[in-house]
Amino acid sequence: MSQQFNRRDFVKATALGASMASAVGMPSLANTAHANEQKPIAAKQQIPSGTIAGLTIGRMLLGGNLLTHYTHSRDLRYVYNLAAHYNTPEKIFETMRIAEAHGITAVVIHTAKGVVDGMREYKKQGGKIQWIICPTAPINDEMAEYTQMCQQCIDAGVDALYLWGVQSDQLVNQPKLIKKAVSTMKSFDVPVGVAAHKLSVIEVCEQEKIKCDFYLKTFHHHKYPSAKLNYDSSWCEDPDKMIEAMSKVEKPWIAYKIMAAGAIPPRNALEYAFSNGADFTVFGMFDYEIDEDTRLLNEVLALDSVKNRKRKWFG
């Protein structure tokens, strides 16, 4: 067993302090001026990479939920507060720097408060990590607010845009609006993806031939205790059906929620995702988890079950 704490160890060790802490909001990522004093990042190791519409990214991407304090912690409500006290603005920048040092080249995140300003500031300070961001503005016939938010992301230096899974799930019966959102993002000349929790979103995009460059789709097995609780605990309704459907999709697939928000061990989650067709994975990590998780990634990608998988690699 690794000498590093896992998330459960960390939560146990800090629960008392967190229970006495007051609630805080989303971080202001731009308030990290002291990061200018840090030395340039020297990569400690590399991870395998692929390319999506000209954008080269590692097979493991840093997930944004823990950075914005959204932990999907079932009914353990204090964990949101705990994450906010641990992942301070300074710690968030440090986490991204550690990720870069371990070969991670991109972060997947949504436009929570402070994120766009933080992206701009991180780049200004020399950070090279690429930003794959979903605008969260309303999607409607006019698209004015959505276009404006896309422009703000582009102005701040975003490297790719994608349709937020929360929105695509709601628009699954309105493919014209999904198509309009993709077209709007495409107008900014960056790679564009569609994220989803519902498999039906991907099926609609394929049927309607919506011209996105990649998909982000939740994917995990159900072999963990809370999978059937239906309490913020499961994001892949039918994994076998998912495997079958994605075997026919000829676009890069970034799998996310592969650990079911911490319920599935990292190695198990990685092997399941890659052996069953995922091309890239999003990993939500605290800073102290990155070293071990990137090592596990390299080990898993070398497995015969992954190298000899049925689905062709895309990206």
Q: What is the DSSP string of 72-103?
A: --TT-THHHHHHHHHS-HHHHHHHHHHHHHTT
Tokens found for residue 243: 């495997």
Dihedral pair phi/psi, residue 166, rounded to 5°: -60, -40
Distance CA 77, CA 75 (A): 6
Please, which pLDDT band fits residue 288 given cuts at 50, 70 and 90?
A: very high
Q: What is the pLDDT of residues 131-163, one digit of tens each?
A: 999 999 999 999 999 999 999 999 999 999 999
CATH superfamily of 7-29+45-307: NADP-dependent oxidoreductase domain (3.20.20.100)
Provide φ and ψ at 14, rounded to 5°: -115, 5
Q: End-to-end CA distance of the chain, in Å?
A: 33
Contacts of 25 (CB under 8 A, 6+ apart): 84, 113
Q: Are 106 and 50 in contact (CB under 8 A)?
A: no
In this predicted structure, the answer to whether residue 2 has a pLDDT above a threshold of 70 is no
Q: Whose CA is closest to 272, among 260, 289, 286, 288?
A: 260
pLDDT of residue 23: 31
Q: Would you list the domain boundaries of the chain?
A: 7-29+45-307
Neighbours of 146 (CB within 10 A): 22
Half-sphere exposure of 192 (CA within 13 A, CB side): 21
- Confidence at residue 28, expressed as pLDDT on a 0 to 100 scale: 55
Mean pLDDT value of segment 1-24: 34
- Other beta carbons within 10 Å of 262: 20
Does position 171 have pLDDT exceeding 60, yes or no? yes
